[in-house]
Each structure stands twice: as structure tokens, then as C-alpha cells.
Amino acid sequence: MSLLSFWLPVVLSAVFVFIASSVINMALKFWHTPDYRRFDNEDEIGDAIRKTAPVPGMYVIPHCDPATLKDPAVRAKFERGPIAKINLSANGMFNLGAFLGQWFAFCLVVSILCAALAAQALPPHPGSHAIWHTVGLAALLGYSLGEGTNSIWRAQPWIVSVKYMIDGLVYAIVTAATFAWLWPAA
């Protein structure tokens, strides 16, 4: 089957996932709001960071490289703490529209890749179980699997990653349901 024959389930699954994520993140405040903690001395920390005028990017404290890991002074910094991974954005109010646009584009990419896999792996008239299984698994991989690396490498608490993986499971179900509903005629 042609990838173009999947245009409707691709677009609508991205729209439906976008809506589902909006509900999860805006209506279910109890779900992700506790994931983000606040420093009691937020202003002091902000002042300390501003002093060096860092450019947007990812920073680590203490900073080291493989050559300095054996340095006793660097090891002492790790023992003393804190150990932090900090993502800095550009100053000013964040542009929610830009974030939402990027999220929708990501949803489209996941749906396109699901369609590409389904077009190659499934026959022209697969049963709905095969569609759910193939597209759902592909979407689950696209929306969930990468979250584990945030806990492994970026110190994100595992409970936060698991909650985002559960979100991804919801998005995978939405994507698979959309493809099963709108599977193109051969």
C-alpha cells in the first residue's frame, strides 16, 4: 500500500493525540503538576545563574570530563553536591505556541512512521487486531520508550518517566484506534 493512502489516519491520529495530551496536561492537574519542584530560594539561585549570563543550553554541576574525573578536587565536588543537570531556555515568557507546534509536528512524525511500518508490514486487508497490534506498538515506541533515557542519564525521577510512558500508552491507543477506524481501502 502507498504511504499516501494513509494521509487521513496520519493527520487525524496526530490531531487526536494532540487533543488527548491537552486533556492530560491541562485538565488532569494532579497528574504532572507534582513532577516539577520548586526551590525555596528560587530568587537566589536565579541571581547566581544570571551572574554568569549563560546562553541557553544544557549545563551540569559539577562539570567534568573523563580526564578530570580522577582529580581529587572534582571528586570532592561530587561528594559535596549538589549534582545537577540544568536546561536553560532563552529569557522572556516562553512561547507556548512554538512548543505546541513542535509537539504537533512530533505527533505527525510518529503517525507517519506508524503508517510507513504498517504499509510495509501488513497486507492490504489486515484484521483490526493486526492493525491495533502493529500500529499501537509502533506508536508506543515513538511516544514512550525514550522517556527511560531521561531517568537513566538526566536524573529525572523514574516515577515521572513512568507517568510520561503511561501518557504514551494513551497516545498509542488513540493512534491505533484511529488507524483501525480509517484503514485505507486497497
Structure pTM? 0.88
Count of the separate structural domains present in the chain: 2
Please count the other Cβ atoms lying within 10 Å of the Cβ belonging to residue 143. Answer: 24
pLDDT score, position 75? 92
* Helix, coil or strand: residue 159: helix
With respect to residue 109, please indicate whether it lies within any of the assigned structural domains.
yes
Please count the other Cβ atoms lying within 10 Å of the Cβ belonging to residue 137. Answer: 14
With respect to residue 115, please indicate whether it lies within any of the assigned structural domains.
yes
- pLDDT, one tens digit per residue, over 22-71 is 999 999 989 999 999 999 999 999 999 999 989 999 999 999 888 888 89
For 30, the grid coordinates are: 494532579
With respect to residue 134, please indicate whether it lies within any of the assigned structural domains.
yes
**Along the 186 residues of the chain, how does pLDDT read in single tens digits?**
888 999 999 999 999 999 999 999 999 989 999 999 999 999 999 999 999 989 999 999 999 888 888 899 999 999 999 999 999 988 888 888 999 999 999 999 999 999 999 999 999 899 999 999 999 999 999 999 999 999 999 989 999 999 999 999 999 999 999 999 999 986
With respect to residue 186, please indicate whether it lies within any of the assigned structural domains.
no
Burial of 172 (0-12, 13-18, 19+ CB in 10 A): buried
With respect to residue 12, please indicate whether it lies within any of the assigned structural domains.
yes
With respect to residue 155, please indicate whether it lies within any of the assigned structural domains.
yes
Residue 99 shares a structural domain with residue 149:
yes
Residue 79 shares a structural domain with residue 30:
no
Query: Closest Cα to residue 107, out of 143, 136, 137?
Result: 143
pLDDT score, position 48? 93
The domain boundary residue, chosen from 56, 72, 88: 88
**Full residue range of the structural domain in which residue 165 is found:** 3-38+95-181
Residue 80 shares a structural domain with residue 114:
no
Rounded CA separation 46/88 (Å)? 11
What is the Cβ-side half-sphere exposure of residue 156, based on CA atoms within 13 angstroms? 22
Residue 54 shares a structural domain with residue 21:
no
Angle between helices 158-181 and 96-121 (to 10 degrees): 60
